[in-house]
Amino acid sequence: MTNRFSRGMSRATDLTRAGKLDEATALIQSLLQPTSAPHDPTADDGAIEGTFTRIDEPAPKQPGEPPAAEPALRRARKGLGETLRGIAAGGMPRRGPLAPTTIDLPQGAQFLSLTHAGQGGSRDYRLYVPATRPDGPAPLIVMLHGCTQSPEDFAAGTGMNALGEEIGCLIAWPGQTNGANPQKCWNWFRPEDQERDRGEPALIAGIVRDILRDHPADPARIYAAGLSAGGAAAAILGAAYPDLFAAVGVHSGLPVGGARDVPSAFAAMRSGATGGALPVTVPTIVFHGLADTTVHPGNGDAVAAQALKPRPGLARVRSGAVSEGGRSYRQTRHHDPSGRSIIEHWEVEGAGHAWSGGRPAGSYTDPNGPDASREMMRFFLQHTRG
């Protein structure tokens, strides 16, 4: 990053904090203009044409062929001003209906409303306790919602509670507050929320310890997964607490250390980030839509690369297929000599910023994609901490 860019982004941070969003927008636009070509203000519509690969463009129409249907997830690119305002408020654009807060439960199951309180603050959370009880302690999956979502909405969209019932697995759903972030995003881009025993990672770890104290959860089989800001937070949990989490799932998220403030969060979302080097990583499964114009798909590459770097010697296998809903996808799998998958990266063509294989009852879902919830559950249950 050049000194000019660093100074400019620092100034944009100050302007954003001061509420001067139009000035911050203009400054970031000027910083992102190629230095070799003069800026033509008449051609600037507030949108940035980054390095996105648009794979949902229709093929050329052949003679006699009927008009092609509009792709289900095709969306106009957001203008810089609108996107910056969303990030300045702590959030991202929302799409899709919010689910009702009432969740249908099988007989004998519970969806508890609980609160964790500790020295670092408190957070409410829901806990799904299945009617199906395994022999011995149950695995626990912590599910971190995206911006503007609620635990109930995220549960309805991912269908993870139903999988928890199949397996006999506890599912925790922490809820971010409007007080902590105006759009209920997990604050993955703030230094104080990227470290062990500080901020939101400490709060979520506290929720896990409460569940271990009060419910029959297996301390060796605890996992975290999330969407978007929640996916970035899940990656942070794996880096900060490898002694607590056995594996993590990152859907449409960003690498650990990919941003340190609002302007760098904006840059990471638009163009991708590499993140910092991690001394230790936990097994990681990554899902990302290749038509995601909210969080650049390059961030999925970076999450996988970051998890892989401390683990040399894994075998790499690539494969591709088409989901039942018609979405092509590629899977890159890194496995150990026993065949156990350690890092997986799923790239879904035509998918935007949405949970792959999710249910339409929740926001940010793509029912046509491969089932991310089931694949994450499969991946997690391969791994036991220690």
Is residue 293 one of the residues assigned to a domain? yes
Q: What is the pLDDT of residue 12?
A: 66
Q: What is the pLDDT of residue 132?
A: 87
161, 171 Cβ separation under 8 angstroms: yes
Is residue 91 one of the residues assigned to a domain? no
Is residue 59 one of the residues assigned to a domain? no
Question: What is the bridge-based pairing of β-strands 170-174 and 138-144?
Answer: parallel
359, 371 Cβ separation under 8 angstroms: no
Between CA 234 and CA 77 the distance in angstroms is 27
Q: What is the pLDDT of residue 43?
A: 32
Query: Residue 172: beta bridge partners?
Result: 127, 142
- Span 28-52, pLDDT tens digits: 656 655 443 333 333 333 222 233 3
Is residue 10 one of the residues assigned to a domain? no
- Residue 231's CATH number: 3.40.50.1820
Is residue 69 one of the residues assigned to a domain? no
Question: Which pair of structure tokens corresponds to residue 276?
Answer: 């910092």
Q: What is the pLDDT of residue 114?
A: 97
Is residue 77 one of the residues assigned to a domain? no
Q: What is the pLDDT of residue 10?
A: 63
Q: What is the pLDDT of residue 119?
A: 85
pLDDT along the chain (386 residues), means of 10: 58 61 61 43 29 34 37 37 46 42 82 93 97 92 98 98 97 96 96 96 98 97 98 98 98 97 95 94 98 98 97 96 97 96 98 97 97 98 94
Q: How many domains does the chain have?
A: 1
Question: C-alpha angle 335/338/343, rounded to 5°?
Answer: 20
Is residue 48 one of the residues assigned to a domain? no
Name every residue whose Cβ is closer than 8 Å to that of residue 193 and which is 6 or more positions away in sequence: 186, 187, 199, 200, 201, 233, 236
Q: What is the pLDDT of residue 61?
A: 38
Q: What is the CA radius of gyration of the chain?
A: 21
Boundaries of domain holding 297: 110-380
Question: What is the bridge-based pairing of β-strands 365-366 and 355-356?
Answer: parallel
Is residue 239 one of the residues assigned to a domain? yes
Distances (CA, A) of 300 to 74, 76, 113: 20, 22, 32
